[in-house]
């Protein structure tokens, strides 16, 4: 029997039912009136979810003592070959960065300018891939675009069972298809979207917002957090993957290499995102715009110290997603992290020497990934 949604009930389609997509889906089902509809990339994945696991998602909040396993039943789920054909109004994308274009392409006929699309991912560069690829034919077909920067911690214990390890927050903002050119927004855009946009209304509903710690803000406010997290990932994700270790194992020697990565990356980011780094002198003190401390946030030495503390001290027992990808012979997101800095330098017309550190990091991650695959296949020397 086909289940059709009530016209009054908001529907949220989710592409990428991994750790972040699953904890988000669970809380949407618990704390809003939305229906959550996962979209899988192929029939095999769909059958695994529907038949192998009874269309159920489970999470355990391990950051709370004696927390029970929570399970939710999903009413509808699809893959490209059996999609219902309904228009997609609200779309959450939590795939790996490099999977985004291929994951969205089969559903393009059901996405238009009335669609609200939010990207919740690591790395940078997906916007460029979408605007130059899937949505290159102009603004009429482009959805309303939002970005989410999620700081919660979670990992997969088994298929469709996830451990929710850390409660932090999720920052969300409307973003411009024009990238850095549309970076600065007046504060009123936050108010307007909270009132008029269905997806943002859902994500900022008091019960859900409190539980998931949602912070709705302007693009420039969110970008500070996004670039900060990007720099954290550019240090710990890549280096832990290269040397194949938990974060705390490099505590004695990590800071010098972190310094090299941050120094070079900041130089490029300040050029590529010039409106953000010039924001204080151009917009602070103007009533229509939020007051930001950009310079203080990205002051070099305190930034490196904080990245080191967050990753190697507080996160000493953690194993990064990039390290886990290389260990399990999966593709990594390196092209959207350190590799993104390299591509920015090329677009800016800078010489190759401008990104020697990040280029080397990219090659070393690829070297580690290839080495692990070779060893697993027992290829003789």
Residue 3 in domain: no
Q: Can you give the residue range of the structural domain that contains 248?
A: 222-374
Q: Indicate if 150 and 291 belong to the same structural domain.
A: no
Residue 379 in domain: no
Q: Indicate if 70 and 209 belong to the same structural domain.
A: yes
Q: Indicate if 248 and 361 belong to the same structural domain.
A: yes
Residue 253 in domain: yes
Residue 54 in domain: yes
Q: What angle do CA 288, 170, 222 make, to 5 degrees?
A: 35
Q: Indicate if 237 and 251 belong to the same structural domain.
A: yes
**Which residue, among 155, 137, 79, 143, has the nearest Cα to 114 in the 3D structure?**
143
Residue 357 in domain: yes
Final residue in a domain of this structure, among 196, 217, 238: 217
In the chain, the number of structural domains is 2
Q: Where are the beta strands (DSSP E) in 112-200?
A: 116-120, 144-150, 153-158, 161-166, 170-174
Indicate which residue of 229, 263, 270, 347 is catalytic.
229
Q: Indicate if 303 and 326 belong to the same structural domain.
A: yes
Q: Indicate if 205 and 274 belong to the same structural domain.
A: no
Final residue in a domain of this structure, among 185, 217, 249: 217
**Which residue, among 35, 37, 55, 58, has the nearest Cα to 47 in the 3D structure?**
55
Q: Indicate if 187 and 334 belong to the same structural domain.
A: no
Q: Indicate if 150 and 253 belong to the same structural domain.
A: no
Residue 1 in domain: no
What is the CATH number for 282?
1.10.1040.10
Q: Indicate if 315 and 191 belong to the same structural domain.
A: no
CB atoms within 10 A of CB 134: 17
Q: pLDDT 10s digit of each residue in the chain, 381 long?
A: 344 545 579 999 999 999 999 999 999 999 999 999 999 999 999 999 999 999 999 999 988 989 999 999 999 999 999 999 999 999 999 999 999 999 999 999 999 999 999 999 888 989 888 988 888 876 667 999 999 999 888 888 899 999 888 888 999 999 988 877 789 999 999 999 999 999 999 999 999 999 999 999 999 999 999 999 999 999 999 999 999 999 999 999 999 999 999 999 999 999 999 999 999 999 999 999 999 999 999 999 999 999 999 999 988 888 898 999 999 999 999 999 999 999 999 999 998 899 999 999 999 999 999 999 999 986 665
Residue 103 in domain: yes
Q: Indicate if 246 and 197 belong to the same structural domain.
A: no
Q: Whole-angstrom Cα distance, residue 239 to residue 337?
A: 12
Q: Give the global pTM.
A: 0.90
Final residue in a domain of this structure, among 217, 247, 268: 217
Residue 6 in domain: no
229 catalytically annotated: yes
Q: Indicate if 196 and 255 belong to the same structural domain.
A: no
Q: Indicate if 284 and 160 belong to the same structural domain.
A: no
């Amino acid at each position: 029997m086909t289940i059709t949604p009530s016209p009054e009930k908001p529907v949220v389609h989710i592409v990428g039912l991994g750790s972040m997509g699953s904890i988000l889906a669970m809380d949407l089902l618990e704390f809003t009136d939305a229906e959550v509809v996962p979209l899988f990339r192929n029939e095999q994945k769909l059958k695994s979810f529907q038949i192998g696991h009874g269309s159920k998602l489970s999470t355990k909040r391990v950051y709370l003592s004696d927390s029970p396993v929570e399970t939710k039943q999903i009413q509808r789920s699809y893959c490209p070959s059996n999609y219902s054909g309904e228009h997609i109004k609200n779309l959450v994308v939590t795939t790996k960065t490099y999977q985004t274009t291929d994951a969205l392409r089969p559903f393009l006929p059901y996405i238009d300018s009335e669609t609200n699309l939010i990207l919740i991912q690591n790395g940078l560069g997906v916007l460029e891939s979408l605007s130059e690829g899937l949505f290159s034919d102009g603004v009429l077909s482009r959805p309303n675009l939002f970005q989410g920067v999620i700081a919660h911690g979670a990992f997969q214990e088994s298929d469709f069972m996830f451990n929710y390890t850390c409660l932090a927050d999720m920052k969300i903002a409307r973003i411009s298809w024009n990238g850095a050119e549309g970076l600065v927004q007046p504060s009123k855009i936050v108010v307007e979207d909270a009132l008029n946009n269905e997806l943002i209304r859902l994500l900022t509903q008091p019960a859900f917002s409190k539980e998931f710690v949602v912070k709705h803000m302007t693009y420039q406010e969110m970008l500070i957090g996004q670039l900060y997290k990007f720099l954290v990932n550019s240090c710990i994700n890549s280096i832990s993957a290269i040397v194949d270790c938990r974060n705390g194992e490099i505590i004695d020697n990590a800071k010098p290499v972190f310094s090299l990565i941050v120094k070079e990356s900041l130089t490029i980011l300040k050029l590529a995102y010039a409106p953000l780094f010039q924001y204080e002198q151009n917009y602070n003190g103007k009533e229509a715009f939020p007051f930001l401390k950009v310079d203080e946030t990205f002051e070099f030495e305190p930034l490196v110290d904080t990245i080191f503390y967050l990753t190697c001290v507080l996160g000493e027992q953690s194993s990064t997603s990039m390290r886990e990808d290389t260990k399990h012979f999966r593709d990594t997101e390196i092209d959207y992290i350190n590799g993104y800095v390299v591509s920015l330098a090329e677009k800016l017309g800078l010489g190759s020497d401008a990104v020697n550190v990040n280029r080397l990091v990219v090659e070393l991650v690829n070297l580690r990934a290839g080495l692990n695959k070779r060893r697993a296949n027992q290829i003789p020397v």
